[in-house]
Amino acid sequence: MEEQTRSEILKTIPYGFYITGVVGSDGEANGFTTCWVSQVSFEPQQVVVAVRKDQHTHDLIEQGGVFSLNFLDTDQEDLARKFTHPLQPEDGTLAGSPYSTGETEAPLFDEAFANLECRVVGKLEAGDHTVYLGEVAAANLGRPADILTDLDTPMEYGG
Ligand SMILES: Cc1cc2nc3c(=O)[nH]c(=O)nc-3n(C[C@H](O)[C@H](O)[C@H](O)COP(=O)(O)O)c2cc1C
């Protein structure tokens, strides 16, 4: 019973939705929907992202040592759903989602309204996830928008 209470309380923590972009040592670009993200330092500007250890994308972030945060807007629930499934490269896109690269090799997805590029500068083992500390290396604002949050959709991650 207390187990269920813990879970319900944890589920009330609000999150923004992102596609985290990663790249492997052989150049394989990939991305996955992420909400366990937070800024943790002003100077230098640093963020953390928690990545589930049994995911393919966990191997890629381990290899590449970089990640991008691609910010989803309130009309992009479908895109958030798409990136919760393993996706394959297709004609220079990831399953039809175009991307470019910037200062790091991490993919920057065109559909996002903003992108941050980060280099991994630390990590923490956290049970079934690894928490990566990323230092912001570059930023791009495509258009002003409001970020999609778990308050806008029935999608959830937590508990
Ligand atoms: C709303 C939502 C938020 C998610 N947030 C995270 C997250 O913060 N960290 C994570 O590792 N996986 C998260 N996931 C799960 C990944 O998006 C999913 O496991 C994805 O398929 C992993 O890609 P891969 O199998 O290609 O490695 C989330 C899923 C949903 C539905």
Average pLDDT, the chain: 97
State the pLDDT at residue 70.
98
Q: Residues 14-66: pLDDT tens digits?
A: 999 999 999 999 999 999 999 999 999 999 999 999 999 999 999 999 999 99
Q: Residues 65-116: pLDDT tens digits?
A: 999 999 999 999 999 999 999 999 999 999 999 999 999 999 999 999 999 9
**Domains of the chain by residue range:** 2-89+103-141
- Alpha carbon nearest to ligand 1 atom 6, residue: 34
- The tokens describing 80, both together, are 């958030």
Q: Is the pLDDT of residue 1 over 90?
A: no
Q: Is the pLDDT of residue 156 over 90?
A: yes
b/e map 7-41, b = 16+ CB within 10 Å = eeeeeeeebbbbbbbbbbeeebbbbbbbbbbeeee
State the pLDDT at residue 146.
98
CATH 2.30.110.10 for domain 2-89+103-141, yes or no, is yes
Please list every protein residue whose CB sits less than 6 Å from any atom of ligand 1. 30, 32-36, 50-52, 55-57, 84-86, 155-157
Are the beta carbons of 61 and 132 closer than 8 angstroms? yes
Alpha helices in the chain (DSSP H): 2-10, 56-64, 77-82
State the pLDDT at residue 31.
98
Which of 37, 62, 84, 151 to mutate for ligand 1's pocket (most ligand atoms within 8 Å of CB)?
84
Ligand 1 centroid to residue 86 C-alpha, Å: 9
